Amino acid sequence: MGRGYSSEDIREKLISVLDDSDTGMSGVEISKKVGVNRITMTKYLKVFAAEGLLRQKNIGNVTLWFLKPGQESFNFPNDYFKVVSEYTEYLVKGTEDQVYSLIHNCIHSGASVNQLILEVILPAIDSVTNLYDDGKIGTSELNLLRTTISKSLQIFNQLQIVSDPKKNMVIIAADTQSNLVSEAASAICHSDGWRVSHLGDMSSAINVLFDLDFQKLIGKIWKQKPGILIVVVFSQTGEGLNFFADSINQIKAKSGKRMKLALCGKVPKKTKIPSDLSSEKFDDILQWSQTISQNLK
């Protein structure tokens, strides 16, 4: 790579070079302007095209490269505050494409997945809920915005991450209201190298057959029982936490100390639900999981 540039440097220069080019540029022209040799530049162009930054058009023997619409370069960590306001604005007043482009641009600019989710997307989930509670949006728009947020989180799950076979996690939402937060946890843990099985909203599974059903699932996803398995339950109610904890603890007792249970939600006062960790705070669950994984080494 020329002049010791990082891929982030090259990406930023590409955006600058191609930003005002309506007719596109050849790889040779780009390599000269960016200052990277032609062979290396060709490799980067293909990578950036696969990531969605560029599109190409073949004219005869010449390949022209264009920026895809909506590309923007950020400087992190300074621009996290800027992205917070942009994400919420695009979500509520803009288009889905603007929302997804913003996430892609942040990733291409080297943003931390954890920080994007914790500092940008989770606050947006709260903002949308508040808009609904205040009567500023209706049920239809609420569902639409939640779907857009969900698709934003799916972008992180599509990132190529080498997972650790010893780090296994099952994430459950005990109700519809907890589903987006459970998706956020899934995306963060995926980026941290966990083998995550996100079950989504399992409120329909609250019945007498859940024990057997869940035990069969554990047998499939944790066959040889490598490392540990953490089951995380998110719920807006103590009843939801209590049901899943009661069922999972029965299976946990048969699996030994390598299976852990974490509960995220508000437990009623004077109520104790057996678990390895219980907290209302999303961060506590993440930090505890990291500590558990570090103890594996």
- pLDDT per residue, tens digit, the chain (297 aa), is 345 567 778 888 888 888 878 889 999 999 999 888 889 999 889 888 877 788 889 988 889 999 887 778 788 999 999 999 999 999 999 999 899 989 988 988 889 999 999 999 999 999 999 999 999 999 999 999 999 999 999 999 988 889 999 999 999 999 999 999 999 999 999 999 999 999 999 999 999 899 999 999 999 999 989 999 999 999 999 999 999 999 999 999 988 889 999 999 988 787 889 999 999 999 999 999 999 988 876
Q: Are 211 and 231 in a shared domain?
A: yes
Task: For residues 249 and 230, give the distance between their C-alpha atoms in angstroms, rounded to a whole number.
Answer: 12
pLDDT score, position 297: 64
pTM of the model: 0.81
- Write down which residue in 132, 157, 182 finishes a domain: 157
Residues 287 and 199 in one domain: yes
Looking at the fold, whether 18 and 116 belong to one and the same domain comes out as: no
Q: Does residue 274 lie within any of the structural domains?
A: yes
**Is 74 a member of any domain?**
no
Q: Which pLDDT score, from 0 to 100, does residue 96 have? A: 93
Q: Is 112 a member of any domain?
A: yes
Work out how many domains the chain is built from and give that number: 3
- The CATH number assigned to the domain holding 16 equals 1.10.10.10
Supply the range of the domain harboring residue 96: 80-157
Sheet holding 62-67, edge to edge: 25-26, 62-67, 54-59
Q: Both 128 and 33 in a single domain?
A: no
Q: Tell me if 13 is assigned to some domain.
A: yes
**Co-location of 175 and 263 in the same domain:** yes
pLDDT of amino acid 1? 39
User: Is residue 212 included in any domain, yes or no?
Assistant: yes
Q: Are 170 and 199 in contact (CB under 8 A)?
A: yes
One domain, residues 189 and 267: yes
- For residues 187 and 265, state if they share a domain: yes
Residue 8 one-letter amino acid: E
What pLDDT, on the 0 to 100 scale, is given for residue 2? 44
> Do 122 and 156 touch, CB atoms closer than 8 A?
no
Rounded Cα–Cα distance for residues 235 and 175 (Å): 6
* Domain boundary, last residue among 129, 157, 185: 157
pLDDT at 267: 83
Instruction: Please indicate, yes or no, whether residues 100 and 137 belong to a single structural domain of this protein.
Output: yes
Q: What is the dihedral of CA 167, 183, 153, 80, to 10 degrees?
A: -90
Residue 175 falls inside a structural domain: yes
Q: What is the pLDDT of residue 48?
A: 84
